[in-house]
Structure 1
Amino acid sequence: MVAPVRRVALLGGGFSTDEDGLLDDWLLSHARSSRPKVCFVPTASGDAPAYVDQFLSAFKARHCEPSVLSLFRRELDDEALRTFLLSQDVVYVGGGNTANLLAVWRAQGVDQVLRDACDRGTLLCGISAGANCWAEGSLTDSFGPLTFLPDGLGLLPGSVCPHYDSEPGRRTAFRAAVATGMLSPGWAVEDGVGALFADGRLEEAVSTSPQAHLYWVQAPGGHESGERALPCRLLKS
């Protein structure tokens, strides 16, 4: 029996930031079901009610079955939580505090269940902290100032930096962290970009604007700057 491919998607936008819905539609097009079960996990924002409402409003209008996993007001026991997450076609993690997100998941055993779901073919994805969490490390403001966080679930090899073009200091800080070895080489995601990985390999990159890019960032060497823009397919409404 062939094992399912581990799939992870990094989002530089979606229902919480964009009105066109292009990135969320693109994401759903890669679900394994024609009417996928999509679970939103807002742990990084402390299960912010307005964030949850945004998700439900956006995804109830789509051809899918949306749900929300709340861990701060948890109602499921361990067995029910595992059954619920393993039944999802897509797990969509929201933005917020990456370090707190990882701590809560580990305290409640959610990290291992997500690994198992990924191994069984669930598409894992998210924006900002919800993109950082899948990698081996990331650039984050979890502790206030921008800093490197050599921690994550490691389902995506390398590191991640979200908001690469939109938040001051991120480009410089990420390149410096990679150049000094504080973070492993990795992926820098500009706002408006989506990137799909299969077993750690980039399968597709898309953008909602010709100016939005996905970058591979590694330590500079020789005549190489260390930052390489990758082709993105332009999404159109």
Structure 2
Amino acid sequence: MFARVSAPVQEGTAMAVEPPQRLALLGGGFSTDDDGLLDDWVLARSRTSRPKVCFAPTASGDAPAYIEQFRTAFRSRPACEPSVLHLFRRELDGDALRSFLLAQDVVYVGGGNTANLLAVWRTHGVDRLLREACDHGTLLCGISAGANCWAEGSHTDSFGPLTCLPDGLGLLPGSVCPHYDSEPGRRPSYRAAVAAGQLPSGWAVEDGAAVLFTDGVPTEAVTRARGAGVYRVEPGGGGGVSERALPCRLLGASS
């Protein structure tokens, strides 16, 4: 976990207030859902009414079809300014890349291979820039690998079979498991990893649900599908695990 260190403030000067670090783990979005509820929820949590939204398709190798899905979904939303972070055919130099990422209000990371994503980001220095952007108020979010990457560790199929990846950016304490209900073996494998100490306690996200963290603490959980949820998974007594569901608000429900 990387702690933020504030610079000393001279006597008689106003103390700058740092914005909170905000991260969202998504169990859906434009690539899986037709209703757009989770994407609209993300945009509504931005710091501005017309956010700049950057899609990072690194985990898929900047797959053209995935990028086009994003552009189609977000160009139709008048209340945002979409863009794409290209790293496999990078055109921006270091200064331009930093300026581009720090100007974003939302960075939305797509799914794919978590291990490859982290390796490419570190090669290009994107890991450091995203940490800086987060410290300045950019909302970081993503689905699948794009959810895994923010934590200290994750449950992944990056190497084929489901396994533990005790590696991540560490912006979110603990571990993450996506697709908790939809992929065979996810739930028992993640529970076993947490029980055995192979992964630290963490958060399991079912498809259709999402959770927002503010300074590492869950502050809102939502779902677009009744029954889909977010769970806190921790070691329990007798070598087992404790699994606690967060209260989730149903998106699109009439008040």
Fold-level match, TM-score > 0.5?
yes
C-alpha contact 2:196 2:239 (8 A) present in aligned 1: no
User: Post-superposition shift, 1:224?
Assistant: 8.0
Residue type of the alignment partner of 1:6 = Q
Unaligned runs of 5+ residues in structure 1 are none
Taking structure 1 as the reference length, the TM-score comes to: 0.98
Matched with 1:54 is 69
| Residues 1:133 and 1:182: Cα distance change in structure 2 (over 3 Å) | same
Matched with 2:52 is 37
- Is the counterpart of residue 7 in structure 1 residue 22 in structure 2? yes
CA–CA distance in 2 between the matches of 1:106 and 1:172?
31
User: Post-superposition shift, 1:150?
Assistant: 0.4
CA–CA distance in 1 between the matches of 2:245 and 2:238?
18
| Residues 1:3 and 1:223: Cα distance change in structure 2 (over 3 Å) | same
Residue type of the alignment partner of 1:92 = Y
Residue 18 of structure 1 is aligned with which of 33, 39, 44? Answer: 33
User: Post-superposition shift, 1:217?
Assistant: 0.2
Matched with 1:231 is 247
CA–CA distance in 2 between the matches of 1:12 and 1:45?
17
Structure 1 counterpart SS, 2:25? strand
RMSD, matched Cα:
1.2
Count of residues in correspondence between the two structures: 237
User: Post-superposition shift, 1:222?
Assistant: 6.3
Matched with 1:176 is 192
CA–CA distance in 2 between the matches of 1:61 and 1:16?
15
Q: Select the structure of larger CA radius of gyration.
A: 2
Matched with 2:161 is 145
Matched with 2:10 is none
CA–CA distance in 2 between the matches of 1:146 and 1:93?
21
CA–CA distance in 2 between the matches of 1:224 and 1:29?
38
Residue type of the alignment partner of 1:81 = L
Residue 155 of structure 1 is aligned with which of 148, 168, 171? Answer: 171
Structure 2 counterpart SS, 1:35? coil
Matched with 2:11 is none
User: Post-superposition shift, 1:135?
Assistant: 0.3
Residue type of the alignment partner of 1:181 = G
Structure 2 counterpart SS, 1:226? strand
- Is the counterpart of residue 218 in structure 1 residue 234 in structure 2? yes
Structure 1 counterpart SS, 2:237? coil
Structure 2 counterpart SS, 1:168? coil
CA–CA distance in 2 between the matches of 1:152 and 1:231?
27
CA–CA distance in 2 between the matches of 1:129 and 1:77?
26
Residue type of the alignment partner of 1:22 = L
User: Post-superposition shift, 1:223?
Assistant: 11
% same residue: 73
Q: Deviations over 1:124-145 (max 9, x none)?
A: 0000000000000000000000
The list of structure 1 runs, each at least 4 consecutive aligned residues, that deviate by more than 2 angstroms after superposition, is 222-225
| Residues 1:81 and 1:216: Cα distance change in structure 2 (over 3 Å) | same
Unaligned runs of 5+ residues in structure 2 are 1-15
User: Post-superposition shift, 1:38?
Assistant: 0.1
Matched with 1:194 is 210
